[in-house]
């Protein structure tokens, strides 16, 4: 199964869902599932692309543009997210967000 995880932030920003997801992903990939993650840059400013183990992690500036009413920033994040979704057609989107993203 192809699963896209969508979190408001990811490690190194710490929180319950970040830790839970980081622990869950190796178990899912070990069972043969393909994973990809989308997250906001977070407070620690993750790079735009990295890996957590073997899982690709794409980060976008999603939250700040919404709060700042930055339409260009919102459009830029949306285009990046759409590109990831197009390149990684999923069976499931596992979304854990608690904000405007």
Mean pLDDT of the chain: 88
d(CA 95, CA 101): 10
Report the percentage of the chain scoring pLDDT > 70. Answer: 93
Main-chain phi, psi angles of 26, to 5 degrees = -60, -30
* pLDDT value at 10 more than 60: yes
Which neighbouring-strand residues pair with 7?
39, 96
Q: What is the dihedral of CA 53, 55, 58, 64, to 10 degrees?
A: -70
Q: What is the pTM for the complete model shown?
A: 0.87
Chain-centre distance of CA 18, in angstroms? Answer: 10
Tens-place pLDDT, residues 52-101: 889 999 999 988 898 999 999 999 999 999 999 999 999 999 887 666 55
Alpha helices in the chain (DSSP H): 16-30, 63-67, 71-87
């Amino acid at each position: 199964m192809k699963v896209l995880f969508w979190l408001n932030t990811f490690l190194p920003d710490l929180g319950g869902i970040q830790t839970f997801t980081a622990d869950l992903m190796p178990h899912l990939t070990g069972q043969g599932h393909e994973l990809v993650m989308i997250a906001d840059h977070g407070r620690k400013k993750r790079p735009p692309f990295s890996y957590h183990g073997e899982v690709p992690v794409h980060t976008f500036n999603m939250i700040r543009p919404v709060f700042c009413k930055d339409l260009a920033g919102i459009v830029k994040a949306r285009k990046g997210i759409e590109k990831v979704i197009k390149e990684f057609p999923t069976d499931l989107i596992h979304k854990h967000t608690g904000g405007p993203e």
